[in-house]
């Protein structure tokens, strides 16, 4: 067995909990998942996690003392200093659930907690696309749009722990679609997988010209973000307009944050980012157009590298740096 202690990275999601043992340098040694038991407001989740860790140690014949500590990324707003999660709707935890202390008692090692999007951002900073950078904006384009902002090597939490809400930047100041957050025009309404599909449908409704997406819609009754990227790859004009619209909104929002933060890198992750340069190139074009010049020239727009491992890597970073 290698020297040094192990870090435990824990990424709590609404469906499963991702777990890993990592070296103190953040290399994953063992990685596994357990289902999230949401019964009774998620009351067994913490014990399930502790049991899983202890079983895995036994299975590997590794003593408990090998563990330095654990980090936890959880889906909700977190008070990192007090170790509380205000609520985690997807799991059932509520009323300032004392996540850190409960986890610490159950596992038997020091624990640090963080919001899951922030944890993923820290993971990309430590071991992924943001490696080496201390000033970073991370944005995740999935069903929703999440984000984490890192200044001077640490997450920006803001005065009420609500910082980093890149998805709720107002991208469409008037006439925008209503967002799940209760405010119209959020970046999430135009830059998420849901948003891009809606944009394509809106364009289809007014555009008379030929488009593969029209066929897909007629044949299957719906279109997906993936359909849009496949059509765009083949040169479909309406699909390319849809992506251009997304890139324009996203480039503007990122440029405006960029002019204020002057990040070294902007890391773009999530399912939608799988489109690669088809999406990243136009985002970069609009970023440079809208950003304060020294920022536009110096900021790199890069694709996230860790995928689903970003959360556990960031959680392990917490265990290495915050306990």
Binding residues for a copy of itself, rule: CB under 8 A, are 77, 133-135, 147, 149, 151-152, 156-166, 168-170, 173, 181-183, 185, 248, 252-253, 255-257, 259-264, 290-295, 298-299
CA distances from 212 to 200, 236, 291 (A): 11, 7, 34
Q: How far apart are the first and last CA of the chain?
A: 24
Indicate the residue among 205 and 293 with the shorter CB distance to a copy of itself: 293
Q: Taking a C-beta distance cutoff of 8 angstroms, is the pair 305, 293 a contact? A: no
Indicate the residue among 72 and 295 with the shorter CB distance to a copy of itself: 295
- Minimum Å distance from CB 244 to a copy of itself? 13
φ and ψ at residue 95, rounded to 5 degrees: 50, 55
Residue 184 is given by DSSP the state B
Indicate the residue among 264 and 305 with the shorter CB distance to a copy of itself: 264
Q: Is 83 exposed, middle or buried (0-12, 13-18, 19+ CB in 10 A)?
A: buried
CA distances from 129 to 239, 252, 262, 286 (A): 28, 22, 17, 21
Indicate the residue among 160 and 209 with the shorter CB distance to a copy of itself: 160
Indicate the residue among 77 and 271 with the shorter CB distance to a copy of itself: 77
Indicate the residue among 181 and 234 with the shorter CB distance to a copy of itself: 181
Chain length of the chain: 323
Residue 160 is given by DSSP the state T
Q: Which residues contact 221 (CB under 8 A, 6 or more apart)?
A: none
* Three-state secondary-structure class, residue 7: strand
State the Cα–Cα distance between residues 283 and 304, nearest whole angstrom: 14
- Minimum Å distance from CB 152 to a copy of itself? 8
* Three-state secondary-structure class, residue 136: strand
Token code pair at residue 185: 């025009």
Indicate the residue among 131 and 134 with the shorter CB distance to a copy of itself: 134
CA distances from 93 to 72, 113, 150 (A): 14, 14, 27
How distant is the alpha carbon of residue 177 from its chain centre? Answer: 22
Indicate the residue among 89 and 181 with the shorter CB distance to a copy of itself: 181
Q: Taking a C-beta distance cutoff of 8 angstroms, is the pair 72, 99 a contact? A: yes
């Amino acid at each position: 067995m290698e020297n040094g202690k192990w870090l435990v990275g824990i990424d709590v999601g609404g469906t499963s909990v991702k777990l890993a043992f990592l070296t103190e340098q953040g290399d994953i040694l063992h990685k596994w998942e357990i289902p999230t038991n949401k019964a009774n407001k998620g009351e067994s989740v913490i014990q399930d996690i502790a049991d899983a860790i202890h079983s895995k140690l036994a299975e590997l014949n590794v003593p408990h003392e090998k563990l330095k500590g654990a980090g936890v990324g959880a889906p909700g707003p977190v008070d990192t200093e007090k170790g509380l999660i205000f609520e985690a709707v997807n799991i059932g935890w509520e009323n300032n659930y004392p996540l850190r202390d409960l986890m610490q008692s159950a596992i038997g090692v020091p624990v640090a907690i963080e919001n899951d999007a922030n944890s993923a951002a820290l993971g990309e900073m430590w071991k992924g696309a943001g490696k080496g950078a201390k000033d970073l904006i991370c944005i995740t384009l999935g069903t929703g749009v999440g984000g984490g902002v890192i200044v001077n090597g640490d997450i920006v939490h803001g005065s009420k722990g609500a910082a980093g809400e890149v998805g709720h930047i107002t991208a469409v100041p008037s006439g925008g679609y209503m967002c799940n957050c209760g405010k119209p025009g959020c970046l999430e309404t135009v830059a998420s997988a849901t948003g891009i599909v809606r944009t394509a449908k809106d364009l289809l409704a007014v555009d008379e010209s030929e488009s593969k997406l029209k066929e897909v819609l007629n044949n299957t009754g719906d279109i997906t973000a993936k359909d849009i990227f496949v059509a765009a790859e083949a040169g479909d004009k309406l699909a390319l307009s849809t992506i251009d619209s997304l890139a324009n909104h996203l480039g503007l929002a990122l440029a405006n944050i960029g002019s204020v933060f002057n990040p070294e890198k902007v890391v773009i992750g999530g399912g939608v980012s799988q489109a690669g340069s088809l999406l990243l190139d136009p985002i970069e074009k609009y970023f440079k157009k809208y950003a304060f010049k020294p920022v536009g020239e110096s900021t790199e727009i890069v694709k996230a590298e860790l995928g689903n491992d970003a959360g556990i890597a960031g959680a392990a970073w917490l265990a290495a740096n915050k306990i």
